[in-house]
Structure 1
């Protein structure tokens, strides 16, 4: 029996649910990957995510070749290419791991329907989360809409069984012997070979980053909110594309213990919280979780939005965050909250516009987490805090970048300002006039005024 394993957001050759089950159940297993034009056609040619995937696939392909097999890669619409591959290799089963995004669910249903007419079975497994769908429910059988009780239930349920890995190595002899075929270049796919070396793509890159983070994890609780400090794991893009195993990460944090590891585990649980929200309430992709806020009359000033996107709002911490995003595809989590709050609560722009911009730019873009984070910042989502939580960009800057190190990196025109002046440079200009000697925009809005306007906007509902 020949089976195909369809790699998607699980680009590794270890602790892989679908591959494990396929290798155990089949005499001959062929690994396949589709550069899906249904997704790629909407991306810019310099999209770093495609380069990250391509370089990660290179490593996966090499690992399979070392076992005498190969990674079969195709470029086209996945729902067309998978049935073609089933026919080409006379496969009787297709294995893959669950994807919880609405478009992916529709794609998989289409593929499963086509394979049913070809006498090919479709098998899908939980892999990218510890708990999925309705595995963690309230005592009344409903979904959790607030994180803290969800976290308590998650921690109460987790044990060694759920953190156990899926062994691959003992069954690698069931990989089909294949002659190596050339991998399409990024240029052939229509993309630039963007430098993603800083992201450390592939399984080896994910392992190196995780090993490095484990040396610092004890400091995570205290260091994670400071963008100028090496405090976070930098594993988000690896989690997004599955070059690391969520079970391995969660198990290591569970075993290490202590405030730092427990806080980081909590962040992994946040990821699953948003995944279950998306599965239970797929309409949040376009609509607010709290229906009463779905039609808030945001002014949506296009000049304000452009200034926010380009990092020229006149608020240094916001501008530095947006410039980091535009230049690198990465934004520190604390800065995501500050930038999102500023867009919605200061500029009075619909959160959906910001969410789409992040979706276009973030290396680690994940629909569930991006949507959940934006709705949290906009006070339209599943959060116990009401709409009057509004971040002050100056006090946030003073607290989380006290010496202005991060600001100076991305707003070098402000480098000469003192640690105190750099958070609100307009005050320095008011005092020193032309002697301030820097070319930086005046604040696009007055925070105090916009705070009142935001409160008035939300109170209408």
Structure 2
């Protein structure tokens, strides 16, 4: 046993089960669980509003879970290196344990903390657990990282299943004396004036228990049909595990081993499709680790000279769900209301911003970062670069989603649009996705007055598509 307590630094791993660093700390001495809120003006990607809301709820849940184990959660705010060095001295800690980071800001914070602690003679141990396999363990025959998803997927599957999740701890050994802690209320992470989080509270249950419950529901009720239903925003057919994974309230191998036993008979295809999405998340993390500029810079160099149109008015219309394209507007309003957007709609809205409006993908990425409860730097940046055609294994730029056809295919009765664009609720399914084409009588009967109760389209998709393709040809000629 160590001579002093072990500080367990929580980051984006807010759970007690299948937590290698926590379990190692519990084996080696009393444990002081710690969460540090970094000064947000010192990082490139400060927490967005929706992330702050989720974090506050998740930390409350973690604190309750720790209390049940005979422990408590210590909160500190500021520079992690300084806080950890001071807390180690204050408590006589023998070591500090943490889970490995893959995001540039957090990698830098952990490296700085390691330097400060080791200088003070405090041992540091780093553990995995946030992804299935560490980035160094999956590479091509030449030893380089994969740049295309399918061979990455095959290489990962060839390794076999990831190791089994660690069992839950019964108790956590506590230190003789507890250090002082900030209060969560003093951090003011949740909105008050105005309180825009009503939809988030009604939709989500942050925390480890909420993650387990949602996974159990999905595996019992929706996973078997996931392959067929995952593209339908009008149906609750996806797992919605993304925010729980983002904050580490559940580990990817818990999901993997939880889902595997369900891959039988008619459910096999749905489970395999679901697990392939878990691997896509994995691919995104490996990309971010190997290319840390991924969130800021086009991965394909030719796109760094793309002739974007910085149209602030069009950007604002997109952000507010006032583009005049119902499927786009429904998705953007869903995002603002519940802090989440269906994946098919993420692709539709991203394509619209980048290709119909010719606005840089980074502007969309930043908006999603602020408004998503599952704002995950790896997945968010990889997803936006995929949509832009500028990333690794990205959709080709000339693949431009037609928002009306997408809506007619994936929201055939218009239920999704009616839920989030109530001013169109009276429109018949035949016309709801392109109200500007509806006869005047249909619009009158539905109480829709284009340009008044609902906007006219801010661009003509056909013309916008031609403009986007011409811009793409321009950078092709330049290269």
Measured against the shorter chain, the TM-score band is: over 0.9
Superposed, 1:97-246 pairs within 5 Å as 97-159=99-161, 162-169=162-169, 172=171, 174-176=173-175, 184-186=183-185, 188-189=187-188, 191-192=190-191, 194-195=197-198, 196-197=200-201, 198-215=203-220, 216-246=222-252
Closer, same or farther: CA 188–269 of 1 in aligned 2, 3 Å:
closer
Scaled by the length of structure 2, what TM-score is found? 0.90
Once the two structures are superposed, residues 365-422 of structure 1 have per-residue CA deviations (whole angstroms, 9 ceiling, x without a partner) of 0011000100111111112642211100000000010000010011111111110100
2:455 equivalent in structure 1? 441
Aligned to 2:262: 256
Task: Determine helix, strand or coil for the equivalent of 1:381.
Answer: coil
- CA distance in structure 2 between the partners assigned to 1:355 and 1:45 by the alignment: 13
Kindly report which structure 2 residues correspond to 1:348-427, keeping only aligned pairs within 5 A, or say none. Answer: 348-383=358-393, 385-427=395-437
Q: In 2, are the aligned partners of 1:45 and 1:191 still within 8 Å (CA)?
A: no
Question: CA 1:98–1:44 in 2, change beyond 3 Å: closer, same or farther?
Answer: closer
Q: Distance in 2 between matches of 1:230 and 1:367?
A: 25
Q: 1:55 corresponds to which residue? A: 57
Match of 2:347 among 337, 357, 372: 337
Cα displacement (A) at 1:175: 3.8
In structure 2, the CA distance between the partners of 1:432 and 1:73, relative to structure 1 (3 Å rule), is closer
Distance 2:423 2:43 in 1: 37
Moved over 4 A (4+): 39-46, 177-183, 193-196, 429-436
Distance 1:394 1:447, change over 3 A: same
Q: Kindly tell me the number of residue pairs found equivalent between the two proteins.
A: 457
Q: Distance in 2 between matches of 1:407 and 1:453?
A: 27
Task: Tell which deviates more after alignment, 8-17 or 30-39.
Answer: 30-39
Pick closer, same or farther for the CA change 1:141–1:124 going to 2, 3 Å: same
Moved more, 14-23 or 268-277: 14-23
Partner SS for 1:174: coil
Contact 1:285 1:371 in 2 (8 A): yes
Residue 269 (1) aligns with residue 268 (2)? no
C-alpha separation in 1, matches of 2:244 and 2:99: 16
Distance 1:180 1:370 in 2: 37
Q: Any stretches of 5+ residues in structure 1 without a counterpart? A: none
Cα shift at 1:38: 2.6
Distance 1:187 1:360, change over 3 A: same
TM-superposition CA deviations, 1:234-257 (whole Å, max 9, x none): 111110111112111011222321
Cα deviations by residue, 1:423-448 (Å, 9 ceiling, x for unpaired): 10000156757566312111111111
Q: Distance in 1 between matches of 2:185 and 2:51?
A: 12
Q: Distance in 1 between matches of 2:151 and 2:43?
A: 40
Return 59-68 or 321-330, whichever deviates more: 59-68
Note if contact 1:402-1:419 (Cα within 8 Å) is conserved in structure 2: yes
Once structures 1 and 2 are overlaid, which stretch shifts more, 78-87 or 394-403? 78-87
**Change in CA separation of 1:421 and 1:211 when aligned onto 2, cut-off 3 Å:** same
Q: CA-atom RMSD, angstroms?
A: 2.2
1:261 & 1:178 partners in 2: Cα distance?
47
Q: SS at 2:9's partner residue?
A: strand
Q: Which runs of 5+ in 2 are unaligned?
A: none
The Cα of 1:174 is off from its aligned counterpart by 3.4
Change (3 A) 1:173 1:235: closer
| Structure 2 counterpart of 1:451 | 465
- The Cα shift of 1:131 comes to 1.2
Distance in 2 (alpha carbons) for counterparts of 1:190 and 1:334: 30
Deviation of the 1:122 alpha carbon: 1.5
Instruction: Please name the residue that 1:81 is paired with.
Output: 83
1:35: which partner in 2? 37
- Counterparts in 2 of 1:62 and 1:179: CA distance versus 1, 3 Å: farther
Partner of 2:305: 295
Change (3 A) 1:179 1:80: closer
CA contact (8 A) 2:52 2:189 kept: no
> Alpha-carbon deviation of 1:83?
1.6
Give the superposition deviation at 1:94: 0.5
CA distance in 1, matches of 2:45, 2:360: 23
Give distance in 1, aligned partners of 2:78 and 2:168: 29
Aligned-partner Cα distance in 2 for 1:445–1:384: 25
Contact 1:55 1:202 in 2 (8 A): yes
Instruction: Name whichever of 148-157 and 28-37 sits farther off.
Output: 28-37
